Amino acid sequence: MATNYPTTVRIDEYTKTVLDSAAKYTNQTRSAFMVSVARERAEAILKERRVTMREIAPMILSPRDSKIFIEALESDSEPSDALLALKKNYDALNIIDET
C-alpha cells in the first residue's frame, strides 16, 4: 500500500511554467513530474555514490574489509528495533532536517 507524504515546494513563475510544460509533454501532473524527476536524480546520485565507494573503499580498507563494507552498503536489511525507536523519537520532536 502506498503512503503519501505531503511536501510543500515554493517555486518562481518561470520554474512553474517550465515544470508545467514538461509535465504536459509527459502526460503527468506537475506533482507527478516533479516526483519522478526528483526520484530519478536521487537514484542517479545514489548509484554514483556506490560507484565512488567501490573505487575508494579498496584504497582505504584491506581487500577483505572492502568486500565486507561494499556488501553491507548494497544489502537490503530491515531496520532494527533500536533504529525504529530512534526514528519514532526523532519524528515526535518535529525536527526539520535541512541537510
DSSP state of 14: H
Q: What distance lies between CA 29 and its chain's CA centroid?
A: 21
Is 61 within 8 Å of 69 (Cβ atoms)?
yes
**What pLDDT sits at residue 5?**
84
Residues 60-78: pLDDT tens digits? 778 888 788 888 888 887 8
DSSP class per residue in 21-83: HHHHHTT--HHHHHHHHHHHHHHHHHHHHHHHHHHHHHHHS-HHHHHHHHHHHH---PPPHHH
Per-residue confidence (pLDDT) for residue 97, from 0 to 100: 61
Which are the contacts of 60, defined by CB distance < 8 A and separation ≥ 6? 66
Would you state the torsion angle of the CA atoms of residues 29, 32, 37, 42, taken in this order, to the nearest 10 degrees?
A: 160
Put simply, whether the predicted model's pTM sits higher than 0.75 gets the answer no
Low-confidence ranges of the chain (pLDDT < 50): none
